[in-house]
Structure 1
Amino acid sequence: MRPFIYEKATSETDAIVRRSGSNAQFLGAGTNLIDLMRERVEAPDALVDVTGLSRQIEETPDGGILIGAAASNTALAENAIVRQRYSALARALLAGASVQIRNMATVGGNILQRTRCTYFYDVEGSRCNKRNPGSGCDALDGLNRAHGILGVSQSCIATHPSDMCVALAAFDARIHLVGDTGRRIVPLTEFHRLPGDTPEIETNLEPGELITAVDLPALPPGARSMYRKVRDRASYAFALVSVAGVLQIVEGRIVEARIALGGVAPKPWRIKEAEAGLIGAAPGEAVFSEAADIILSGAITRTGNAFKPELARRTIVAVLQNLSGETR
């Protein structure tokens, strides 16, 4: 790790000024960034600590919730509103890391964490277009069991590793940003980018922009949520496939349906056409399977991850059956 300057921001404006015009990065807990610096994947000249700026977790007037970007994952998972109304989010956070990491990790940092692709971390021995644009992608024909099948390209098949973001996507979360040009709000589903020919550009952040908060709108009355994670081992492994589901059923018919996937794409994955196809239908395995097939219709598999479409389909159906009362 090369030397760097450490500065602690006293306000949002101060943070933006300190980062402006330099090879600096904002620092949350650093549970991902510091690892990347040690591995020489990242090499900022300065770190601007923003952990003291926005830790609030509070109910909004419309019955939703506003979450400060510096709130810890533990604080969010233990929040009474989250546990009662957004239980899939609490479950995703608890599935995502050890207690020690949850105590340190922040909401903003979780959103911005980078892929855990082995080739991305292997600075000396592997080609990676995300790390070194134009160099190639060794994952395409390498060890790709954990890699993506949706939204991928010939330039990159890495997946976004966050459990939290999958649940946030299902809850229609919005990201609050501030930068040199002012404030703006971006839906989480539009925040992360697909790799295309530029996998090194991972988000739609403008240069120097800072995440300040995340808000979740109120859920429809009676809506239920669930998060299920399938992994190689039960203890703090990244998802092979994960599913966050939200379902509202009124008089035997589905009136609200949301399905977000993790472990399969470079970003939390939602296909709203599949959700729309469930509206008005009676819940059941057949209609849930149809929705899963629509979501997975564009899957592109490699040698190591050819099992993922069927695993994802079964997990989607199981989550929706559980939410509809057809426990599986």
Structure 2
Amino acid sequence: MTDLNYQDSTTQEAGMGDYFALLKPRVMSLVVFTALVGILVAPGASLHPFEAFVSILCIAVGGGASGALNMWWDADIDRIMKRTANRPIPSGRVQPQEALAIGLALSGFSVILLGLASNWLAAGILAFTIFFYAVVYSMWLKRSTPQNIVIGGAAGAFPPMIGWAVATGSISIESVLMFSLIFMWTPPHFWSLAIFVKSDYGNAGVPMLTETHGRRVTRNHILGYMICLIPVALGLAFTSIGGPIYLAVSMGLNLWFLQACIVVWRRNEDAAEADKFAAERRAFKVSLAYLFGHFTALLAEAALTPWGLGGW
């Protein structure tokens, strides 16, 4: 648990960049992109551009609020891990109380404004997403189970479902499959990272799968989840937002990511240590292109369908 009275001896004056960093802008960019796709690919939805802009802004702010609450809670372990030690709170540039206040204020603002600007279903899903990431994942799962990233991955999978709800006021098989695509993608994506930053989690006492069961088991899980991901990704091709373009792109991306995961699965630890986990780093990078490529292909289908070039 984060100590609200924690004061760092190296406290520095915070700048605007530090407060922005609290919102985890890299994660926020993925949230915004997938939510925007959810809005744009919804068939038959007529949304005023200003309403769409405000809705995306609310979703982005809600995602940033989750990041601030996560950094507030995880300040103690962030100070221990090399890759997070320079974050605004553990570095002393922002105090935990400030991060908590910002996270709570932005959470309330984003949910209420989204409900007023769009609809309360979308606002409700956004509120649940913030709660899931800040409470279920950060406060409970992350420090209690090696399956933390599997279950907690749901938080990052909700944005396209929120976007779809903004555009249609409903939940459908399409939005559920977009959610499922990100949900099933998260374990092989994150565990590839966890393999080559293994000691970070161990030093912080986080029960990541690499720590509790070892890298060999983690490699098995990466391949297993990748195999389960394939039918989910391909299944989107046969819905109202899919089509031959998406199917072709998805097949290529799945073969690429599967090959990268197989290489990771076949590795022994001596070889991985010798080349500084090059295959694992490659799989992590491929995973980013994989998700971006799938959602870009959905956008291409939506853009070309009115011209008779997309869709079935």
TM-score by length of 2: 0.28
Larger RCO (alpha carbons 8 Å, 6+ apart):
2
TM-score by length of 1: 0.27
Bigger share in strand: 1
